[in-house]
Structures are given as structure tokens and as C-alpha cells.
Structure 1
Amino acid sequence: MQSTIRKQNYRRRADWSPLPRVVAVAWPYFLLFMLIENILLIIENRPLYRLNDTITSLSHGLIEHSGKLLFRAGESYAYFYIYQHFKLMELPWNRPITWYLAAIGVDFCYYWVHRACHEVHILWAQHQVHHSSEEFNLAVGLRQSILQGWCGFIFYLPLAFYIPPAHFITHQQFNLLYQFWIHTKSIKTLGPLEYIFNTPQHHRVHHGSNIYCLDKNYGGVLIIWDRIFGTFAEEKKDEEIVYGLVYNQPSFNPLHLQTFYTEYVIQRFNSMTTWRHKLAAIFYGPSWQPGKPRLGLEEDKVKVVPRPVYDVRIPLWCNIYLLIHFSIMVYGFHLLAVHHVGLNPLTVLTFVIYIIGSLTAIGMLFDNKPNACVFELCRCMVLVTLIQRMQFININENLLLTFEIFFVLSGLFWFLQSIKVLQISSKIKLH
């Protein structure tokens, strides 16, 4: 009897005990591998990362994880509830078969999540954030929507009938972690492994806007799902892959890139005259038009050819300034992520809004928007106010004073800039 109780308690702890946030603690390694990729680009005599595009990608990563601090894994509650009340079998926690089934099951469900994010308009409105960069490098792997976790959680729920929650969450994190390294042009091919696993060569196709690349290679870890379900495409050696959206949005503002397509879906919804068409505008494919198939017609697809890459040249001092302030935002996010569990939800919301606002202001400066100076002035003054009015636990007072002085000086600088209505530089496009 006691042995049975011990086993039940062990299983309960295994299913519900806090799990390591693998993706969250992997950020230093992400940055390390990005540095290594730049070293390889130097060796290959190819262009390095662009600072504006890279910080935009990292900003999306911070915004996504900020959302996780707010939602507190709320999208997983349905999974926990189904497993607790309706599981069909109880697989042993420490048996290899459980780990294998969880790994394969999570990857299979990810294929359908990913495919749905391309074939359902409202889901694409969130997932397009990941495809919005005209570059293809490791930083792009971190470019995600704040609502990405909510887009496809329902597709994983069938696993809750037999896969313990701890296994599901662990393998879901490892699945996403695997997908980071496949965002690179530095690895050409992995030989026979290309047939089974999703690799950089396959994922380059997925990110392309060329007609043959559209809606292909959805796999996470395994590419076999695409081969089975007819969505696989080989990389063409004689055709340059064009990255980015078919209809690009020229901006480094992460808030704009997170929201503009949702606004477009709402416009499409409002433009339809019947409820059938209104619902289709939300749940059919992005290319759907009234009177046409759910995913649109092949002949209606836009042929994207190599095109100028959106870029804005700003002075070196401004790039340095933005890099320093972005680094401070990363540090601030780290502190929030470490202490958010013990904070009032309203406090967490306040700081998340400030982080998103800060990243937006940085993006506006990269875009050289006329009113960016005013937004940056407001951002600096808001942080000074927060430092003076709030109590920060576990943060050195001298460090807080340094930040306060630094942001006061930054605010004063942008106040002088805003009076002059200064344009930092003119926009140019790279080829």
C-alpha cells in the first residue's frame, strides 16, 4: 500500500513539478552561436548581420517571452486539465518509450500547427512575424509573435490523452530549441540526414518567397512529415531564394510588424458582404478570394524576384546609442524574468508594456521616423520616473543611480533633437 502511494506521489511530482525553462535559459548560447555565424561569414567573405535587422529580430524574441511572463503558460492549462481528468492511459514517467512517443508526437503536432499557421489567415497574421525579415540567419530564429503560443495550442491537445504534461512541455521546448540552428545559410547540406531531419537547406526553402518555396517544408525536427503529406520541396541551386514576405513591410518597428497583418485581416473581414465570406476571410488561406478555393489558385501567386533590401543608414553614434539601450533592455528583461513570479501581475504588466514601448522606440529610430525623437524622450523620462517612484529589490542602488543619470542625459539629448525636429539621415535601399 505504501509503495503504491509513493509511486502515485512520484508520478504527481513528475507531472506537475516546475520544469526548467530550456528556451529561456538558452539565450546566452543563442548569442554565442550568432557570434560564431558572423565569424563564419567573415571567413566566407560574405556580408555580416545588419544591426537594425538583428536587433529587430531579437526584439521580437523579447516581446514573445514578455508575453509568456504575462500569460504564465496559460495556453498549457487545457493540456493539464485534459490529462488530469481524461487521460486514456498512464505511461510510465521513466521509461524510454514515453520519451520516444512524446518526441514524435510533439513533432507530428508541430507540423500541423505550422501548416495551419500558413493556411489559416488569422493564424498567419501572427506567424508572418517570423517570416518578416529579409535576412536568413540565426537571429531570425528568435523572431516570433507574442501570440504564437496561443495560435496552435489546440493542435497539441490530443497528446494530453496519453503524454504526461512534463514530457509534453519538455519536448515542446526541445523541439523549438532544435529549430534555432536551422536558420542559417552557412551550412549547405548534411548529406543523407537531409532525408529524415529538417535542416538549414530545407528551412531556407520554407522562408523563401519564391513561388516554389511557398507553403513548403513545415517540419520541426523531422522533414518526413512533409514528404508524407506532400508539402516537401528541394532547394533549387539555380534560383536565388528571396527572403521576407511576398508583400514586404518596410519597417524595423517590432510593434508594427507584430500588428499590421492582424489589422489587414480585420479590414478583409469588414470588406466582405456576407457572413460566409467574412468567416472565410478569417479562417481560409491568406490568398483566398471569393469564388476561389480555400487556399487560392496557383496562378494567382505573385512571382517574387530578387529585390532591394529595406535598410536605413544612420550615423555610427546613433547605432552605438541604440545598441547600448537595447542591451539595457535585455538586462531589464532578464531581471523581470527572474523575479516576475513574486511580483504583482499589474507590476509585471507595467514593465512588459515599458519593454515593448522601448523596443518600439528603438525600431522607430532605426526607421528614422520624424517623431522618433519625441518617443525616445518620453521613454527615457518614463524609466527615470519608475526608478524614482518604485522600489527595486535585489538591484544595486549604485547601478540604479547610474541608470537614472544615463537616462536623464539621454532624455536631455533627445529633447534637444526634438526641438530641432532633426532627421538623422535619409533612407537608402541596399541591393
Structure 2
Amino acid sequence: MIPLSHLNMENCTKCELKVTSLYMNSVSVNDMQLNFLDWAAEVFQGIGHLFYIVNPRTNSYGQVKDVPKIFYNAWPYFVLFMILENIILFLEKKPFVRLNDSITSLSHGLFLECGRLLFRGSESYLYIYIYQYFRVYDLPWDCAFTWYLAAIGVDFCYYWVHRACHEIHILWAQHQVHHSSEEYNLAVGLRQSMLQGWCGFVFYLPLALVIPPSQFMTHQYFNLLYQFWIHTETVKTLGPLEYILNTPNHHRVHHGSNIYCLDKNYGGVLIIWDRIFGTFAKERHDEEIIYGLIYNQPSFNPLHLQTFYTKYVFESFQKMKGWRNKLAAIFYGPSWQPGKPRLGLDEDKVKVSFN
């Protein structure tokens, strides 16, 4: 036994400091590990949002004000995937995405966000109003059945929104912005009209009879996010999933200006709606897809691309003789001509090719 008088108090103090230092370092390392795990979990969750891989329990909200800004929070992942897309193109020895075209697409994405700021309040208010005063059944917002019903309902309505944007001239004036790129890449997924959401929201209003507003808004965000990653040529096929889901394979056809591609594959997440309603077309390997509008605009000016077609629609309205033809110039299809069917005839459409 060592007498107390032989103890060196200075040495004891040093030992205490070393123990404390080791403990603090251990705590610091543990905190760093936890922070990294939290960050990794958040990243994987954000990536999952792009593919609609989400947990219904943690992504259900009781009030509209509780729904996070899912689309806004996804922008870092948009950039990440666009970088990965170019890396894949480099490895496959294919041309990079054109910078001027990508900048134009991103500019349209900013226009879309501006439109959301201006019109999201009116869309939400009308949906909430119908739900509060005219709903026919009360579904619990935190129920798995409500979650999946909302997901399917939003996607079903999106099919008709999208189809209307191709078959009603004044709506096509806004939606053509999305089709105005002559390339097909992830940046095109962000190329949207400032008024796109406002033009289509009325098609979702029947959901307000049963779907809680918070569930509707959540799934509208996820439905839109899913459609970002399908705008690429780097993914060829997804095997059996092609029968159920909208994939890059199917959506390439939708963006083609070849005759067989026109007015096809309107689905958002599910391709089954096109199979059911007769608007499905399979990608042909004997005919290369030509992207863009039938009459492409030689401009990268986003403001021009946002507005030129609306001007064209009203000029067509003024030139038509008789009120029936004038209204048809606005509400019939883009290819309609006097005396022809509502959507026009294929033989009257310009046939594009690389030859």
C-alpha cells in the first residue's frame, strides 16, 4: 500500500486530464458517427423520394401546413443525378448533355417554382374548400388504405391532366414547353411551363370528395418527383416492371415527334392507364426517336419558349371564321383543322426523320 504522502498530486491531475480527454474524444467520435448516419439516412430518404420509395407512416400528415416542401428539397438530388447522368454518358463514350440546353431547362424549372408561389394557394384553397363542404366520406389521414388510394387516385387524375394538355390546344400552349427540347435527359424533366400546374389542377378536384388535402398534396409532390428520373436515355429497360410502371423506355416514346410517338404514353407513375385507355405505344428499335416539337423553335430563350405558342393559339383564334371554328382553335387538338376530326389526322401531321 502506497502512503498518501508518496502520491504526487500533479501526476493525479495529469491522469484525470488524460481520462477526460479520452472520454471526450470517444464522445466526439460517436457524435460524428451518429451525425454521419443521420446524414446518410437523410440522403437515402431523399433519393427514395425520386423513385416513390417512401414510408407511408412517416410521410403522412394531418394538416396541409405540415406537408414539407418535398419538391423544393429535392433540388440537390436533381443536380446529383444530372452529374451522374453525364458520368455515365462519358463512360459510354457518348456526347455530354448540351450546356445551353440544360441551362434553358433549369431556367424553365425556376419559372415553374415561380408559378407555384403564385398559384399554389388558389389550388390548395379550392381543393380544401370542396373537401370541407362536399366530401362524401371521411377517410383517416394516417391510414395505409388512404395512403395507397391517394397514390392511385392522384396518378389516375394525372393521366387525364396530361392527356388533356396534349389534346386541348390552349393547354398544349403551356405543356409544349416541356417538349421543346430536342434532347432527352434529366434536365428536361425540370423544363416546365410557369402555368402548368394551374392549367391542370381542376382535374384533381374530384379527389377532394374523399382524399384528405394533406394526402393529396403529398402524393402530388411524389408523383411529380417520380417523373424526373424517367427523362434519360441511360436507362434502357426495367424488365417486367415495364408492364406496370412508366419508365424511361416508355417516356422516350412520349417525347418523340415521330408519328407513332404522338399522343402516346401519358402515364405519370403507372403505365397501366395507357394500356387500359388505348394510348400506349412501345418503343421501336427500327426507328430512331426524334425529340422535340414538330416545329422546333431555334431559340434557347426561356421567356420566348414560355410564351410563343400561346401567342400562336390566339392568332389562330383571330384568323378562324365563325365562332365554332374559333372555339375549336382553342379547345380542340393542336393538329385540328376546319372540317377535320377533333385531334386532326395523322396524314396532315409533319413526318419528321433524320434522313
TM-score interval, smaller chain = 0.7 to 0.9
State the Cα RMSD in Å: 1.0
> Residues 130 and 141 of structure 1 are in contact (CA less than 8 Å); yes or no, is this contact kept in structure 2?
yes
Aligned twin of 1:51:
99
Alignment of 1:304-343 (within 5 A): 304-306=352-354
| 1:351-383 deviations in Å (ceiling 9; x for gaps) | xxxxxxxxxxxxxxxxxxxxxxxxxxxxxxxxx
1:177 aligns to 2:243 (yes or no): no
Unmatched 5+ residue regions in structure 2? 1-60
Q: Which residue of 1 aligns with 2:344?
A: 296
**8 Å contact kept, 1:136–1:243:** yes
Q: Percent identity?
A: 75
SS at match of 2:66: coil
1:106 pairs with 144, 154, 159, which one?
154
3-state SS of the aligned residue for 2:62?
A: helix
Residues 27 and 16 from structure 1, CA distance in 2 versus in 1: closer, same or farther, beyond 3 angstroms?
closer
2:180 aligned with 1:132, yes or no? yes
Match of 1:34 among 35, 59, 82: 82
Q: Runs in 1 of length 4+ with deviation above 4 angstroms?
A: none
Letter in 1 for 2:353: V
What amino acid is the match of 1:132? S
State the secondary structure of the residue aligned to 2:281: coil
Structure 1 residue 94, shift from structure 2 partner? 1.2
2:71 corresponding residue in structure 1: 23
2:64–2:217 CA contact under 8 A, matched in 1: no
CA contact (8 A) 2:119 2:198 kept: no
Q: Deviations over 1:288-337 (max 9, x none)?
A: 01111100112112111127xxxxxxxxxxxxxxxxxxxxxxxxxxxxxx
Shift of 1:18: 3.4
Q: In the alignment, which residue of structure 1 is the partner of 2:325?
A: 277
Distance 1:182 1:81 in 2: 34
Residue 72 of structure 1: how far off its partner (Å): 4.2
Equivalent of residue 297 in structure 2, options 225, 249, 253 = 249
Secondary structure of 1:248 counterpart: coil
CA contact (8 A) 1:76 1:153 kept: no
CA distance in 2: counterparts of 1:73 and 1:111, whole angstroms: 23
CA deviation vs aligned residue, 1:398-418 (integer Å, no higher than 9, x gap): xxxxxxxxxxxxxxxxxxxxx
Which residue in the other structure is 2:273 paired with? Answer: 225
Match of 2:134 in 1: 86
SS of the counterpart of 1:261?
helix
Distance 1:305 1:16 in 2: 48
**Post-superposition shift, 1:253?**
0.2
Does residue 77 (structure 1) correspond to residue 121 (structure 2)? The answer is: no
Measured in 2, the distance between the counterparts of 1:70 and 1:168 equals: 19
Q: Distance in 1 between matches of 2:329 and 2:123?
A: 25
For residues 72 and 153 of structure 1, what CA distance do their matches in structure 2 show? Answer: 10
TM-score by length of 2: 0.82
Structure 1 unaligned residues grouped into runs of 5+: 1-12, 308-431
Quote the Cα distance in structure 2 between the aligned partners of 1:71 and 1:23: 15
1:61 matched residue in structure 2: 109
What does the per-residue CA deviation read over 1:9-28, in whole Å, with 9 as the maximum and x for residues that have no partner?
Answer: xxxx8133331111111001
Greater RCO (Cα-Cα under 8 Å, separation 6 or more): 2
Paired AA for residue 180 in structure 1: F
Give the number of aligned pairs. Answer: 295
| Conserved? CA contact 1:215–1:231, under 8 Å | yes
Whole-Å Cα distance in 2 between the matches of residues 217 and 180 of structure 1? 15
Aligned to 1:311: none
Residue 221 of structure 1 aligns to which amino acid in structure 2? Answer: V
Tell me whether 1:214 sits opposite 2:244 in the alignment. no
1:196 and 1:224 in contact (8 A); partners too: yes
Q: Match for residue 407 of structure 1? A: none
Are the equivalent residues in 1 in contact too, given 2:182–2:290 (CA < 8 A)?
yes
Residue pair 2:112, 2:194 contacting (<8 A) in 1 also: yes
Distance 1:71 1:102 in 2: 22
Match of 1:9 in 2: none
Q: Which residue type is aligned with residue 224 of structure 1? A: I
Cα offsets for 1:123-167 (capped at 9, x unmatched):
000000000000100000000000001111110000000000000
Higher gyration radius (CA): 2
Whether 1:266 and 2:314 are equivalent positions in the alignment is yes
